């Protein structure tokens, strides 16, 4: 608490630093992009709502033909799919799977069922990754029954340009403000998750609009209340972190593990799993230098399994510390964890677990930011050796059909 009795907010303190100091620390972009992402969620929703007739006609014309739905992207963009896979299955009632663009590029026959109509939903921040372009082109050359929805944060990117030239394609460009300038995807991730959630509710946008107001409030609560706690967590000398999530928040766990590992340039090695899945081998990675981050479900049935796992960790004395992220803290969670975050302290938001990934991921982003600074790195560009870049480099994508037929490696995308 500060002198006025208000909770400290280290995130806002970073944002309020002079530009010269932020440049020196390598935080010109990342803290602001984390802070401002929630403000953009309503705009993201509106962009899709404004295309409601076009979207309804497009999707209805595909899924009524017994089509399958494939969600794709690379890295963080792939993990969007895991956050919304269940929502699409439930709301659209069609088979839905997540396959990375990298898998489509290398093994298209493992993804595309020839003779079966399918909708490929591609997520991309810049849209300039060779895999993003390659996956779309390879899908088109592999099947004549492919349709595309392309969600990107860069209306001027290569993927958006390609989309405008293609038939059977719906392009959804988000605000340029979502196109993060920092290395790590933060605002771009949560806004594309919001876009995907909105698409899954395309038949019931009024219902989602009502839920979005509560999602935004939950996000604002996380941004206001969690930075101080997370900065304290990041002062601990942990070398590993394990992120746990069930249902839609399995995707949150995957994305959060990458954020922390990416922003610390691999100095903190991370893993992810479901709560029950952790028992089947991965629990072995938890030592006395490991932070465990638990994204707790609001569903009491699922939550019981999660509490059982936290009790097991507590009894076995595994890990340096447990950070529990929850809608509302109760005594059981308080007893089983060392640090807690809550996005609904008043218990008034009533958010389904399917809708919480954009909220919970803020915790993963802040862990990456503050641990990066704790280790003396520059969050905007933490890779001191230049191993990782904002957009992948040195990649060539080859046409698999030409190779199978003629044994010739023909490049169809590169950077």
Arithmetic mean of pLDDT over the chain: 93
Q: Are 41 and 216 in contact (CB under 8 A)?
A: yes
Residue pLDDT, tens place only, 323-377: 999 999 999 999 999 999 999 999 999 999 999 999 999 999 999 999 999 999 9
pLDDT at residue 392, as a whole number:
64
Between CA 208 and CA 65 the distance in angstroms is 26
Span(s) in the chain for CATH 3.40.50.10490: 14-203, 205-384
Q: Which tokens belong to 262?
A: 């990416």
Domain at 14-203, CATH homologous superfamily: Glucose-6-phosphate isomerase like protein; domain 1 (3.40.50.10490)
Q: Is the pLDDT of residue 134 over 90?
A: yes
Q: Is the pLDDT of residue 65 over 80?
A: no
pLDDT at residue 18, as a whole number:
97
Q: Is the pLDDT of residue 3 over 80?
A: no
- With respect to CATH, is domain 205-384 assigned 3.50.30.30? no
Between CA 397 and CA 409 the distance in angstroms is 9
pLDDT at residue 114, as a whole number:
86
pLDDT at residue 414, as a whole number:
78
Q: Which residue has the tokens 């480099």?
A: 393
Question: What does the angle CA 164 – CA 105 – CA 400 come to, to the nearest 5 degrees?
Answer: 100
pLDDT at residue 386, as a whole number:
57
Residue pLDDT, tens place only, 143-155: 999 999 999 999 9
Instruction: Label residue 402 by pLDDT band (50, 70, 90).
Output: confident
Residue pLDDT, tens place only, 119-131: 999 999 999 989 9
Between CA 368 and CA 234 the distance in angstroms is 9
Q: Is the pLDDT of residue 255 over 90?
A: yes
Between CA 392 and CA 414 the distance in angstroms is 10
Upper half-sphere CA count for residue 91 (Cβ side, 13 Å) = 22
Residue pLDDT, tens place only, 372-394: 999 999 999 997 665 565 566 67
**For residues 77-93, b (16+ Cβ closer than 10 Å) or e, as one string?**
bbbbbbbbbbbbeebbe
Q: Are 146 and 140 in contact (CB under 8 A)?
A: yes
Residue pLDDT, tens place only, 6-47: 678 999 999 999 999 999 999 999 999 999 999 999 999 999
């Amino acid at each position: 608490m500060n002198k006025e009795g208000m909770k400290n907010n280290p995130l806002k303190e970073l944002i309020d630093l002079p530009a010269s100091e932020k440049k020196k620390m390598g935080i010109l972009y990342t803290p602001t992009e984390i802070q401002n992402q929630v403000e953009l969620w309503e705009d993201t929703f509106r962009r899709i709502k404004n295309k409601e007739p076009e979207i309804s006609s497009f999707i209805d014309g595909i899924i009524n033909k017994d089509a399958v739905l494939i969600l794709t992207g690379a890295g963080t963009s792939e993990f969007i799919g895991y956050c919304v896979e269940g929502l699409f299955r439930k709301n659209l009632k069609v088979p839905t799977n997540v396959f990375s663009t990298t898998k489509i590029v290398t093994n298209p026959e493992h993804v595309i069922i020839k003779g079966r109509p399918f909708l490929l939903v591609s997520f991309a921040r810049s849209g300039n990754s060779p895999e993003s372009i390659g996956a779309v082109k390879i899908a088109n050359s592999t099947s004549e029954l492919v349709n595309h929805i392309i969600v990107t944060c860069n209306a001027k990117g290569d993927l958006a340009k390609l989309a405008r030239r293609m038939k059977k394609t719906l392009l959804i460009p988000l605000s340029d403000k979502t196109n993060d300038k920092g290395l790590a995807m933060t605002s771009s991730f949560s806004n594309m998750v919001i876009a995907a959630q909105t698409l899954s509710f395309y038949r019931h946008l009024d219902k989602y609009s009502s839920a979005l107001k509560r999602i935004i409030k939950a996000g604002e609560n996380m941004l206001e209340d969690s930075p101080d706690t997370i900065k304290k967590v990041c002062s601990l000398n942990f070398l590993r972190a394990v992120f746990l999530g069930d249902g839609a928040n399995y995707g949150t766990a995957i994305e959060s593990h990458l954020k922390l590992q990416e922003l610390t340039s691999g100095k903190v090695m991370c893993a992810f799993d479901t709560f029950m899945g952790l028992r089947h081998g991965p629990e072995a990675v938890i030592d006395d230098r490991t932070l465990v981050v638990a994204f707790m479900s609001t569903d009491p049935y699922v939550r019981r399994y999660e509490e059982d796992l936290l009790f097991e960790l507590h009894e076995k004395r595994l890990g340096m510390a447990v950070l529990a992220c929850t809608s509302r803290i109760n005594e059981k969670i308080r007893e089983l964890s060392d640090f807690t975050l809550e996005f609904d302290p008043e218990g008034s938001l009533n958010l389904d677990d399917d809708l919480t990934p954009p909220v919970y991921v803020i915790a993963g982003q802040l862990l990456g930011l503050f641990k990066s600074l704790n280790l003396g790195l520059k969050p905007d560009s933490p890779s001191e050796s230049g191993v990782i870049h904002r957009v992948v480099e040195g990649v060539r994508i080859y046409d698999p059909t030409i190779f199978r037929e003629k044994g010739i490696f023909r490049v169809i995308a590169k950077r």
